[in-house]
Structure 1
Amino acid sequence: MFGRFFYGGLLIGSLAMLLFVLGFICLQFGLALLMGLFYLLASKVMLLALALLALLGVFMLFRAVCRELRGYFSRESSALRRLLFLQIRRQDVERLKAAESRQLSYVHRFKRQRLLVADNRKQARALSEAINHELQAVRAQLPIVRYKELRKALRKYRKQADSAAMLALRQQFHVAD
């Protein structure tokens, strides 16, 4: 159907060109009245051909839009879009779950580390106090300078929370005992 209208429009355009040529021939022979008639008729026929081709283009555009809309709103297309929507939604939920899991893991790890640091501080304080009591017990047996050095070292190790150094310090004043 499209081809027939298209070729019909081209045929009408060709007829208009033929009328223009006839008008030019009439001009060459000096037939001005006939030339005016052929030019007038050729311009109207050319306008008709162009209008027919333009209408054909608009009709084909309208038909293509209707076909695409019908395809867009068809059951198969709608079901396919719904399926793709559900797949994307599932992927989004999986990504969200993975992100929440990573965040929760990070928070728990951070809390465990904070608790571990607090416990280490508490243990270091308790160890320091125990060593300080032992140092007080052997104070009379140690020279004053040695006692002050040991106390100063104990305070330093307590600030650093260095349990191994505190235990080594404890061994020093027990050996000196």
Structure 2
Amino acid sequence: MSLNRAVAALGAVAVVGAATVGLSVWKANDAGKPVPRIYVTSGSTWTPVSPLCYNGGKEIAAKDVAACAAKVQKLGAANAAKTISVRPNSTFTIGVDKDITKVGWSASGSAALVAQTTKYQANNLPLSGVFPTSTDQSTGATSTADKGTVLVIERPAGSTSKIVGVWVFSMKTVS
């Protein structure tokens, strides 16, 4: 008789445990998808960057694109974007989450860095495409800044107005 009670108790624990696991999986699935990130690698440093503007994988409304552009300008003016330190004359890599590759993405700094692509990463990107260069009008001498901002935009191929996500980060040279 006691063996039957033990088996019954074990069966009850198994049923309650299975129900708990099932409910946990349902709740985790119901919580929504995580926000996709981009990843910047320079040397041995790997840095994740969260989106500045994102609408759950759907196109951002035109009015929200204008607000996003204002956020980008504000970050740039305040030098508040996530900053990644890099060595002079080095290169860097931008990697993106799988969800971003389904739509397509591009990146630009002071110049175009990555043309529209659906690849997971772009390697050996030059810092010269990030740091702005200026010319002294009186002497003709050129100088290159030691800091620059990169803008990564998720958008469908061939579209100039549809934007799905925007990521912003800065790079700064260190010795």
Q: TM-score, normalized by length of structure 2?
A: 0.25
Q: Which has the higher contact order (CA 8 A, sep 6+)?
A: 2
Q: TM-score, normalized by length of structure 1?
A: 0.25
The structure with the larger Rg is: 1
Larger helix proportion of the pair? 1
